Amino acid sequence: MRVLMLGWELPPHNSGGLGVACYHLCKALSKKSVDIEFILPYHAPFEEDFMTVTAAHPQGAKVVLANASAYDSYKYVYEDGHEEWVDIVGQQRAYEHAVARLVEEREFDVIHAHDWLTFRAGLRARQVKNVPLILHVHSIERDRAGGQSGNPLVREIEATALLLADRIVAVSQLTKNAIIEDYGVPADKIEVVHNSVDHDSFLALDTDNAYRYLCAMKAQGYRVVVNVGRLTVQKGLPNLLKAAREVIYRAPKTLFLIVGSGEQYFELIELAAGLGISKNVIFTGFQRGKQWRDSFAVADLFVMPSVSEPFGITPLESIGFGTPALISKQSGVSEVLANCLKVDFWDVSEMANQITAVVQNDGLRDELQVNARQELNRLSWDATADRLLALYNEHIPAGAAA
């Protein structure tokens, strides 16, 4: 089985969960004898050998330099020496043309494209090679726009591609419903395949936490509440800060750790100051590796207050690192996780109520964690890969796969 995988990011050059999910599902598929060539819009060394990673450069481009985030402008350096900054829609088109050229000299059995940035490229590739096209929806424009309608250009791409696709994979029932509502796609065409977690990644925790200050404060009776993620409108962090003010009023020894960066970074810092809780809210910026892991580990509770979260892998990561979660009901992960606290993203006072309960009661915290951990152990990317493989086979004529 040969799969042409079209994606926008892979770790470590990822800005969020999309890259992580692509990485793990490819890895799990590769263990089931699936040959994968993953086409990225930028060049980055990929050191593992479970799949081939190829950069799709626009014609004549020698180097494509990504900014810190996969969703910023990229700089294209051409062979004739001239340079050009290209925005996200422009990159998406450049990627489409580059993929169309690339596929001419390749053979594969199925095309699997992840999110709108790769959808046009997927359609072009199918046009050239006439093999099934599966679109994997990790989020739709409504999610990214925090419940607003978002960018009409993006909606047009999603609407067209989803109607033309041979099959659609949605990361949750929540996302499947949203696709049906927003784009009128028949429900039968959409398969829900939940994301999972990589259990191997949880082994790396060591005993010496990078947040020495927070550890010292915990010894003084403080409790720590953490959010890890991009600081964008979709993530609902203003409501977490408003809830934090209520929590701190009742439980002054509560510290909130906000790990991540994004377009709301400055706004959230000002909001915390405006709410008078700057002493209790710590902004770390974007973190990787040990400091990222220790952000979960140092906390007593992880809160994901997302306005809209098609799946939301971070609560699972948090549980893996030993910290239970409070998640918004408007999240896909809520469909696979029962042993956690759940709240409507807009219900600030209930959010505050639940956070206060945990920071004032270690017993509640520990009970949540023990049970959530058992649930987590039952999830695996292996099962996710089985579902995808079955889906590929449904669309490939018997005996056609190499």
Partner 1 sequence: MSRAIVLYLHVHQPYRVRHYTIFDAGVRHDYFDAPDGDRTNNRDIVRKVAEKSYLPTNRRLLELLQEHPEFKLSMSITGTVLEQLERWAPEALRSFQDLTATGRVEIVAETYHHSLAFFYSREEFEAQVNMHREKVQQLFGQTPQVFRNTELAYNNDLAWWADKAGYKGVLAEGWDTVLGWRGPNFVYQPTYTDNIRLLLKNYKLSDDIAFRFGNQDWPEWPLTADKFAHWLNETPEATNFNLFMDYETFGEHQWHETGIFDFLHHLPKEWLKRDGNSFMTVSEVIDNFEPVDRVDMPQTVTWADTERDLSAWLGNNMQTSAITALYDLQNQVLESGDWDLIEDWRRLQTSDHFYYMCTKWFNDGDIHAYFSPYENPYDAFIAFMNAYHDLQFRLSEKGAAV
Query: Which positions lie near partner 1, rule CB under 8 A?
Result: 210-217, 220, 265-266, 269-270, 273-274, 276, 278-279, 282-285, 291
Q: For partner 1, give the closer residue by CB, 94 or 258.
A: 258
Q: For partner 1, give the closer residue by CB, 1 or 247.
A: 247
Q: For partner 1, give the closer residue by CB, 265 or 311.
A: 265
Positions of E strands within 161-222: 167-170, 190-192
Q: Name 378's Cβ contacts closer than 8 Å, sequence gap at least 6.
A: none
**DSSP for 10-34, written as a single string:** -TTS-SSHHHHHHHHHHHHHHTTT-
> How, if at all, do strands 52-55 and 133-137 pair?
unpaired
- Going across the sheet that includes 52-55, the strands are 52-55, 35-40, 2-6, 110-114, 133-137, 167-170, 190-192
Q: Rounded to whole angstroms, how far apart are CA atoms 363 and 287?
A: 30
Q: For partner 1, give the closer residue by CB, 110 or 255.
A: 255
Q: For partner 1, give the closer residue by CB, 160 or 284.
A: 284
Q: Identify whether the C-beta of residue 134 lies closer than 8 Å to the C-beta of residue 110.
A: yes
Q: Identify whether the C-beta of residue 145 lies closer than 8 Å to the C-beta of residue 39.
A: no
State the CB neighbour count (10 A cutoff) for residue 52.
12
Q: Taking the complex as a whole, how short is the minimal distance between the CB of residue 278 and partner 1, in angstroms?
A: 4
Q: For partner 1, give the closer residue by CB, 177 or 209.
A: 209
Q: Taking the complex as a whole, how short is the minimal distance between the CB of residue 220 and partner 1, in angstroms?
A: 6
Q: For partner 1, give the closer residue by CB, 57 or 218.
A: 218
Q: Identify whether the C-beta of residue 126 lies closer than 8 Å to the C-beta of residue 111.
A: yes
Q: Rounded to whole angstroms, how far apart are CA atoms 20 and 14?
A: 8
Q: Taking the complex as a whole, how short is the minimal distance between the CB of residue 299 and partner 1, in angstroms?
A: 13
Q: For partner 1, give the closer residue by CB, 170 or 359.
A: 359
Q: Taking the complex as a whole, how short is the minimal distance between the CB of residue 191 and partner 1, in angstroms?
A: 43
Residue in 152, 212, 156, 130 with CA at minimum distance from that of residue 395: 130
**DSSP for 61-122, written as a single string:** EEEEEE-SSTTS-EEEEETTS-EEEE-HHHHHHHHHHHHHHHHTT---SEEEEESGGGHHHH
Burial class, 88, CB count within 10 angstroms (exposed 0-12 / middle 13-18 / buried 19+) = middle
261: left (phi over 0), alpha (psi -120 to 50) or beta: beta
Q: Taking the complex as a whole, how short is the minimal distance between the CB of residue 259 and partner 1, in angstroms?
A: 10
Q: Taking the complex as a whole, how short is the minimal distance between the CB of residue 347 and partner 1, in angstroms?
A: 25
Q: Taking the complex as a whole, how short is the minimal distance between the CB of residue 294 and partner 1, in angstroms?
A: 9
Q: For partner 1, give the closer residue by CB, 4 or 226.
A: 226
Q: Taking the complex as a whole, how short is the minimal distance between the CB of residue 255 and partner 1, in angstroms?
A: 9
Q: Taking the complex as a whole, how short is the minimal distance between the CB of residue 318 and partner 1, in angstroms?
A: 18
Q: Rounded to whole angstroms, how far apart are CA atoms 190 and 170?
A: 7
